[in-house]
Amino acid sequence: MITGVRERLNPGLRLAGNSFCLSDARARQSAKVKQRLVAWFPLRAVDMVICEIIPLAEAFSFGQPIGTYEPRSTAAADYRALATKIPALSSPKQQHGETHNAEA
């Protein structure tokens, strides 16, 4: 998917990191998916989880970002926290680390 976006829209696009979004802590499958994500991209995995909550789904259905639709929600706070981690992920020391096919 990254390769397709890079070819069509943004030749300079690079994967800085990945986070685990729309997680349901009650579901065993969520934990397994997170483990695989970290195993496939050990240097790219961001150590945070953005939980699935009703306002997040509602914001999407109304075509609004969660920070606008429900700025006091836990998901909005999680996404703001994630945004603060992006500059560190883009540093040169983090540029070498895709151990699995991150370009797919």
Per-residue pLDDT of the chain (104 residues; tens, 9 = 90+): 678 888 999 998 877 777 777 767 677 777 788 788 778 777 676 777 777 788 888 998 999 999 999 999 988 998 898 888 877 776 655 444 443 444 44
Give the separation between CA 88 and CA 17, rounded to whole angstroms.
10
Residue 4 in contact with residue 104, Cβ under 8 Å? Answer: no
Q: ∠9-13-19 over CA atoms, to 5°? A: 115
Q: What is the pLDDT of residue 97?
A: 44
User: What residue type is assigned to position 53 of the chain?
Assistant: I
What is the C-alpha to C-alpha distance for residues 4 and 59, in angstroms, rounded to an integer? 27
Alpha carbon separation from 79 to 20, 31, 48, 75 (Å, rounded):
11, 20, 10, 6
- Residue-wise DSSP of 75-91: HHHHHHHHHHHHHHHTS
Predicted pLDDT of residue 58: 92
